[in-house]
Amino acid sequence: MNEVPEPVDAPFRFDVLTLFPPLFEGFLTESIIGRAVRNGLVEVKLWDLRQWAVNRFGQVDDRPFGGGPGMLLMAPPVVEGVNAIRDDFADPGHLVMLTPSGRRFDQSKAREFLTRKRLILLCGRYEGFDHRVNEILGPETVSIGDYVLSGGEVPAMVIIDSVTRLVPGALGDETSPLDESFHDDRRLVEYPQYTRPREYLGHSVPEILLSGDHAKIARWRESLRRPSEPPQTQ
């Protein structure tokens, strides 16, 4: 069982290598993530991959050897970018490449990432990365699910969001992450919750929640935790 996350040396640092830094604008300024950034609990630095373009035209991609559709991100801009990002901060960090072929991200991986203190997130675009990026830099490869997105920016936001929620103080209420779905190794989802009004369109709030008996309510809620739905098969 996983208890309250260990305190981390604030701020937790995320570095994101991306072709589209503006995609992160609202994400990093609003709501829980925005507050965590403003309160100095997390720091997010965006790096534009074009800084390490191979020529003055800003080229960072090229056609795949052997043919095939689309373009690949070239190895030199990514490797040089990561080296510069590592040098920017004392802790070299943990390197993560976002890719559909990586290990599936889940809440236990988010908890593990929290212990890393610094994550460097590589966002792919087009058909992904020249495989020599993997050979040279040896990143951990992470997928957020079995579907294909246009880029690694949304997956990077998923990781930043889920890890930030675990940073002590980020939710305002220290115990909140312990109440949520997947919070321990049983990987159970949360029980149903209700708020006012007590009656709505003929549906009432379960009586037990109005009883004031907190031990009974806790037992009732625990009994309603269940495994998440498996992926739908044909």
Residues 106-145, mask of contacts with ligand SAM (x by CB under 6 A): -----------------xxx-xx--------------xxx
Q: CB of 11: closest distance to ligand SAM in angstroms?
A: 25
CA distance 117 to 26: 23
User: What minimum distance in Å lies between the beta carbon of 74 and ligand SAM?
Assistant: 13
**Minimum distance from residue 111 beta carbon to ligand SAM (Å):** 19
Contact 85, 120 (CB under 8 A): yes
Structure token digits, residue 146: 């079995």
Of all residues in the shown chain, the one whose CB is closest to ligand SAM is 124
Q: Closest distance between ligand SAM and the C-beta of residue 152, in Å?
A: 3
Size of the site for ligand SAM (CB under 6 A): 19
Among 11, 21, 151, 168, interactor with ligand SAM by CB under 6 A: 151
Say if residue 11 is preceded by a cis peptide, omega within 30 of 0: yes
Closest by CA to 46, choosing from 91, 22, 15, 92, is 15
Site for ligand SAM (CB under 6 A): which residue of 29, 51, 101, 108?
A: 101
Residues 19-48 that bind ligand SAM (CB under 6 A): none
Which listed range, 97-105, 110-118, 216-224, 226-234, lies at the site for ligand SAM (CB under 6 A)?
A: 97-105
Asked if the peptide bond before residue 69 counts as cis, ω within 30 degrees of 0, the response is no
Instruction: Determine how β-strand 94-104 pairs with β-strand 72-73.
Output: unpaired
177 vs 184: CA distance, rounded Å: 10
Q: Report the nearest approach of ligand SAM to the CB of residue 163 (Å).
A: 15
Question: Closer CB to ligand SAM, residue 93 or residue 139?
Answer: 139
Cβ nearer to ligand SAM, comparing 114 with 122: 122
Closest CB to ligand SAM among residues 41, 144: 144
Minimum CB separation of residue 18 from ligand SAM in Å reads 9
**19-38 per-residue burial string, b: 16 or more CB within 10 A, e: under 16:** bebebbeebbeeeebebbbe
**Sheet with 140-143, side-by-side order of all strands:** 42-48, 12-18, 118-122, 94-104, 140-143
Residue type, 187: R
User: The tokens of 108 are what?
Assistant: 């236990």
Q: Does 100 bind ligand SAM (CB under 6 A)?
A: yes
Residues in contact with ligand SAM by the rule CB under 6 A:
98-101, 123-125, 127-128, 143-145, 147-152, 155
